[in-house]
Structure 1
Amino acid sequence: MTDDDVLAEFRAADALLEGHFILSSGLRSPRYLQCARVLMDPARGSRLAWALVARLPAEVRSAIDIVVSPAMGGVIAGHEMARALGVEALFLERPDGVFGLRRGFRLAPGQRVLMMEDVVTTGLSSKEAIKAIAAAGGETIAAAALVDRSGGGVDLGVPFYPLIRLDVPTYTADALPPELAAIPAVKPGSRAA
């Protein structure tokens, strides 16, 4: 699957939005990829996961014991990756502000984990998830995401494999270009503003 094919999947799902968006990181952007929309079609989610699995080096693919994703955005992406890899999927939650395993989920000591996100912008949530995986006894051997919005500059401390990299400008709230400042901001993600 080429980058154009991936973007076509997002466009077909009306998941590539234009406007003034407040990202989970607090940064602002004129474009937003609503991964929940692209993943609401199981066939589409499966195609994207299989395309991402195909991009993982063979030695990484064969070493993964389990996929762990941060809730909320990464749950479906992680589940589809686990299905494509033939392993189980768990997800982390943060009801008290700190990621952790709940619902009876657990990792075996040293279990080799692929940490899967939907979108990575600053990498903050991914780093928090990797820390929680370590605290639960797992070893994150790689991270993956459907979309890397970091401009390719994120360092998660483990190899990172995105399906697509998008260079979409982001701004702090006090440094918006005039055309963006003129549009009301909306928060389309899963975390409250």
Structure 2
Amino acid sequence: MNRIAKWKEQASLRKLLIALVVFAALGIPMQASLGELQSGCDSPLMDFLMGYDADTVYYILYSIGESGRNDYLKLIGFDLCFGLVYAAVFFLAIALLLKKTGADRKRDKLLFLPAAAMIFDYTENISTIIQIKRFPEISSAAAFAGSCGTVLKYLFLILCATIIVILVISSVAKKTGR
């Protein structure tokens, strides 16, 4: 926990702004590429589904074709970087708000949530890589792991966003004396 406390103390608005610029620089083109990739399929890609099974994975990977699967593999490389960047954005935002609100050190545990989201995103990505590499053979276990990773990723991202909103409200209330 000492390392986390040190990272929290080193968090700055400047670092958050840099992370946000990198987030936009990676995220906007990646989302556009995912949209192009998805255009060959009438179902969202696995990254955007809140749960899926092996049949859904097969349908999606079949629908996007071989070149789509190859493009998907390339995009996963960007997605791995993107996970690190969004985790940094959430970490820095939460750290700055914890410092600003003067929250006790017990709340530093909240700083682990962005890392959890990133780990579940990586689980989803590793599952997707395995399934693309083994296509047309789709593993139910890999589909289940990927599906769980996707759902948990979104759950932790929603938790991070909710915590940020609560900390902003707390900060404003503290500033106005309410």
Q: TM-score, normalised by structure 1?
A: 0.27
More helix, by proportion: 2
- The structure number with the bigger radius of gyration is 2
Q: TM-score, normalised by structure 2?
A: 0.28
